[in-house]
Structure 1
């Protein structure tokens, strides 16, 4: 069992990102309290959204784990184990719009596609994709 733990890699949401989401929830809640009408409604919805995202990051901080036996993907819906045999493709999807470049790690596992950004993984997605390719048998 010690050998499996040594080859297991984990990627988690950075604490700074969780703190930003929590701060956004507090700021929007403060706006909701001081506002009226539409400001109350919109700031309340934004506060709730930020709180849900921060809560998800606290409940499931490790988004992706990989080892010789396969992958473990975590989120609000729980954890899902994916065997390497079920992984059809691992790639980095790069989009350029409005002067911004967005990279997403795409893991195609049959009928499911899992997408991760660097804010989910705490590392550049290209480095994570390369690590997954090295681990994949």
Structure 2
């Protein structure tokens, strides 16, 4: 973080919304082909496709999930709202690592006392541990401590 006034942000990969839209279209085509007149099968395919499309729309409308500047961090909450958290409101920045299905998953946790913000590698487009290190360095710089 060379310039303290600079904003650094992390976003969903640009290819993800397109992948979700293509997957929704493929699901509809496959569901229509497999339904054979069964309204339940077709309805289920439509429901899952709508959920995928909604998820893709969120990625298009709010691609930046986390930003940091000298005043604090801005996170996305809910479907598409942004919330700015000043440094003095942030109690902890940690990374939770857990094994799941034979893989290791990391989640960035930003604890603001009254709220907990969880962001994974998908949301950040980067490793949560790397993002946490950047946030902690920015926090030190904002507090007047030397980085590192």
Q: Give the TM-score normalised by the residue count of structure 1.
A: 0.89
CA–CA separation in structure 2 for the residues paired with 1:11 and 1:77: 15
Q: Which consecutive residues of structure 2, in runs of 5 or more, have no partner in the other structure?
A: 144-148
- Counterpart of 1:21 in structure 2 is 20
- Counterpart of 1:73 in structure 2 is 75
- Counterpart of 2:103 in structure 1 is 100
Q: Summarize deviations over 1:19-43 as a string: whole Å, max 9, x none.
A: 2212221112223433233321221
Deviation at 1:16, TM superposition (A): 1.8
The 10-residue stretch of structure 1 (25-34 or 110-119) with the greater mean CA deviation from structure 2 = 25-34
Aligned length: 134
Matched position secondary structure for 1:66: strand
Rg larger in structure: 2
Q: Which consecutive residues of structure 1, in runs of 5 or more, have no partner in the other structure?
A: none
Matches within 5 A, 1:1-137: 7-34=6-33, 35=35, 36-75=38-77, 76-136=79-139, 137=143
Q: Summarize deviations over 1:60-92 as a string: whole Å, max 9, x none.
A: 010000011011112524111111111111111
RMSD (Å), alpha carbons: 1.6
CA–CA separation in structure 1 for the residues paired with 2:32 and 2:106: 37
**Deviant stretches of 4+, over 6 Å:** none
Q: Summarize deviations over 1:80-131 as a string: whole Å, max 9, x none.
A: 1111111111111111022111111111111111111111111111110100
Q: Give the TM-score normalised by the residue count of structure 2.
A: 0.83
